[in-house]
Chains A and B, each alone.
Chain A
Amino acid sequence: MTFKLSILLIPYLLFLLLWLIFSLVAVYHMIKFGFKNFTTFFTTFIFVAVSLALLAVSYSFLMQIDWDTQITIFENAFNAKLF
């Protein structure tokens, strides 16, 4: 079976979308229901900053990969079953 490596990005992007929605909900809760004080703003800022750092590191690693590469898997297993 041959497929493009970029297929792997689809579930990852779906996960990112879900993650983003839940992150926004968590930040919304902090801003809407937290006390108006330094801790609320500081922890929210740290969350956003570390999240952005994680996304940036992920992006830098993902950019090094050639996503147009064609991958073949289960070829031998498939042939062995047929013959």
Chain B
Amino acid sequence: MSLLQIKDLKVHFPIKRGVLIDRTVGHVRAVDGVSLSVEEGQTYGLVGESGCGKTTLGRAVLRLNPVTEGEVWFGGRDLAGLDAESMRRERKNLQMVFQDPLGSLNPRQNIGSILMEGLQTHGIGDGDDRRQVQQDRHKRVVEALERVGLSDRALKRYPHEFSGGQRQRIGIARALVLRPDLIICDEPVSALDVSIQAQVLNLLEELQDELGLTYLVIAHDLAVVRHVSDVVGVMYLGSLVEEASSDDIYATPLHPYTRTLMSAVPVPDPSVEDTRERILLAGDLPSPADPPAGCRFHTRCPWRQKERCDTERPELRPLRDAASGSTHRVACHYAEEILSGQIQPSEERAERIVTGGAADGGGGPGH
């Protein structure tokens, strides 16, 4: 049984217009029917570009955004159906790490008070009287701090006195202190310097090994997501287009969007950069308020076919003739044909497709 199971989740934000009385003139379909499940002790990585709804999805799980439709099963309960107070209590089991390490810490609270707040809110702490409870809480806070590589001397200091990486450690400690079952990491490293990113990623992995945590990692960087995750889900315009194990998604990306995304991620290795295929998409992300009919990606897809793509919305399905037990799922009508090479990307639909090798002069500039 999965720890977290999301079934057909939809989050639509109303667009309101009007001078005196607000009229709803449409909906932004930020998340439009996503189903996924996160296994205990594993990391599920959600990757996608800005505007694909990945952050909204993460927040909707915690009900920080209203859920329009769908179910969020966590520990045998449907979070989407809970009343506000039960949801509030439930939050001690699901925690979140935010993107902006400074912005997510109250500048007027010292670290001790930031870490203590969750414990106080949920009345956590063992002891017979106030003093003992207080001591127990202090112990838990220091423990969490030490887990992330800080010492109790941080308690009396304020967020702005720390460096970016340390702040993010504090953010992680805040999530840890409640001993949650699931931590949702929303772009945990994208605001950090490269060398600090790696420290934080390593820390997240260490913590998972030591404490058996389950993560839902949300990020725009495919390399980061692939590095930390067991299962990777790729989102495009509010829906999941592909889901596979971290190895499979790299070895055999099936969905055209995953392929383009993969080909766009720069690799710090000149030999790879010079030889690999680059597929450049034409155009921009369509507006989530008015998503294209059929496959959401068909407006930019270099593999687009005349039939089905613009009329029928593909479901997330396992590959036909796949081995049983395969967890690779894709939302494309023609995944098999694309995989076998029957359908080739059309140069007309992409801005440009640069095939690997130096034959076409794509082997780097200045040669």
* A and B from one complex: no
Chain A residues in contact with chain B, CB under 8 A? none
